[in-house]
Amino acid sequence: MDSVKELPDLFKNSSPTTMRRLRTSFLAFCLTTLAVSMYLLWNYGATLPRVFHGIEDVDDSVQGGVSVDPAATNTQSIDITSLSTSIVAPESSSVPAQDSQSDKGAGLDESGSTHLPYFDLVWWLRSIGRFPGEPLIFMIASNAEMALTFNMHETFEKYGNENNFFVLCLEKACLDAPEIFTYDVVGMNKNSVKIAASAQLLRERFSFVFIDPDVYLTGSIDPFSVMLPLSDPDWDIQFFPGPARGAKGIDASFFYARPNEPTKEFFKRVKKNWKESGDQDLNSLMNVMAFEMFSGDGTLKMKILGSKEFRGWGDMIEWESKNYNNYAAMNIIQNETAVVHMTCVEPSLRSYIARNFGAWYDVESYYSGKRKFLAVKGLEGDASHASKIIGFAAKVAMDSYRTLIFPSSAILTQARKNAQTGASDYVTVPEFPAYRIVNPSSLYPLSLRLVEATYLNNRARYTDEHLTEDTIIMGNGHSAKDPTTGKPVVVKTVLDKAKVDIIWLDMGSGRWWDLDASGAMASYTREVQNVIKTCSNANEEFFECDKRCI
């Protein structure tokens, strides 16, 4: 106590001027510290180190939950007939597994969390002005999936909710995506991030939509307009329909969750079972937990979204085989669909198939922008010849600075193996999908601009500007070597038609033989032939799930 009494005497001999200087210095220090803190928070909040806590930091005991009216979760009020389709609790074998390469990332280290409240996902969201209210929209993406995130961002911009969209980045380059809010989860396991982020958002009273990178928006219908609104109390979580249009469960690649006790409990169970089992098939696990809570103990009000507006492409294989070149049928599907999940499509073809069937928006003026095109008609022959013609057209497009419209189909001569004799039976198919002859994505490494076969039909949704066209009948020396350039004569012919918007190379009536017979063609197209992938199953009449082009 004596020391305390002596405190007032510490500055007894100090002059008033000295005291004022001390107070001024101390006040200046406090104000500077406060100013620096506010500056970092509001000006650099989104670019400060964004360290994801990890799966251990989503326990319900932290910061409490949302109070819920017990009547709102009355288990007796839940009726399975309220779902949009007839469903049964799925067996794990009937549910499609997630197949993203990002699933193989490193797991979240439970002992490695900093537990600093300044660097968690929710703090970051608040630093960029996002608070509970309007639903957030997020996806988890790698560098290879950034084109889809841009497309999705522009689609949401059409409906005015692009600012609620953000991406959790599994790789560094993704963090630098322009105009998109990105958050650092580099090197982490995609499944654990999905669970942890969902649980943390619910704990902090955020409603949200989760979207996987292989889910595409058509831009025809606002997804929120065909989902139940937050004002409707008859749901806790809304899921994309699983296989067989929802009859075999849910698809956790797309879901809409509201923050309440049932959804928090759902993700708590998912987290617990996922950690204990180590099962990477999170889609199957979420199916089991959802149906356990819905039709088992009746504590989760689950809604399966309409299979007309939310389509799984695995249910469309038969339709695709018949309508890949039917523009009228495609337009009907486009106009009545909001979201497409590209199930049963091999990863290398997802983007192309999505675009070909209209699930792509006018991102960066993809459809409405000015460009010149080169296209092929009259594609015919066997798979080897057809592949060479596509390669030739790609090289001419590169040398004439045009965008290649990938061919739609070919008159294909197939060598089908006879099961009885073992010999090959030759069959001519009048229309065979070109993307089942050559994988379009194999041409992406080239300095070539390539668009889908249905580009012109899709373009009509965004612009009615007329395009001029001209046709070059191949043969008649067009493949001969131009002595001045060393390239085929047709390249100069195309360059001379610089004002024409679309130039068609007509390969019909066997004109492909003219190209194939010239040894110079192999030399001219070597750059393309080194990368082009001819489908080994191009001689098969039908294709299976994930096996359009193998």
- Specify if 465 maps to a domain: yes
Percent of the chain with pLDDT over 70: 77
- Specify if 448 maps to a domain: yes
- Specify if 335 maps to a domain: no
- Specify if 444 maps to a domain: yes
Task: Provide the strand spans (E) within 225-378.
Answer: 237-241, 250-257, 302-304, 310-312, 339-341, 373-377
The answer, yes or no, to whether residue 37 has pLDDT greater than 90, is no
- Specify if 206 maps to a domain: no
Higher pLDDT, 170 or 65: 170
The answer, yes or no, to whether residue 550 has pLDDT greater than 90, is yes
When pLDDT is averaged across residues 531-550 and rounded to a whole number, the result is 94
Describe the strand order of the beta sheet including 403-405 as a list of residue ranges: 450-451, 403-405, 373-377, 502-506, 469-473
Q: What is the chain's alpha carbon radius of gyration, rounded to the nearest angstrom?
A: 30
Pairwise CA distance, residues 250 & 185, whole Å: 26
The answer, yes or no, to whether residue 336 has pLDDT greater than 80, is yes
Percent of the chain with pLDDT over 90: 61
pLDDT tens per residue, range 68-102: 333 333 333 333 333 443 334 444 333 334 333 33
DSSP per-residue string spanning 444-496? TTSS--EE-TTHHHHHTTT------EEEEE--TTTTSBPTTTSSBHHHHHHHH
CATH number, residue 508: 3.40.50
Residues of the domain holding 453: 369-529
pLDDT tens per residue, range 363-388: 989 999 999 999 999 999 899 989 99
- Specify if 88 maps to a domain: no
Instruction: List C-alpha distances in Å: 432 to 176, 271, 320, 529.
Output: 41, 46, 12, 21
CB contact at 8 A, 359 and 218? yes
Number of domains into which the chain is organized? 1
Pairwise CA distance, residues 16 & 103, whole Å: 68
* Helices and strands, counts by H and E, the chain: 16, 18
Average pLDDT, the chain: 82
The answer, yes or no, to whether residue 434 has pLDDT greater than 80, is yes
- Specify if 433 maps to a domain: yes
- Specify if 310 maps to a domain: no
pLDDT tens per residue, range 202-260: 999 999 999 999 999 999 999 999 999 999 999 999 999 999 887 789 999 999 999 99
Pairwise CA distance, residues 135 & 202, whole Å: 11
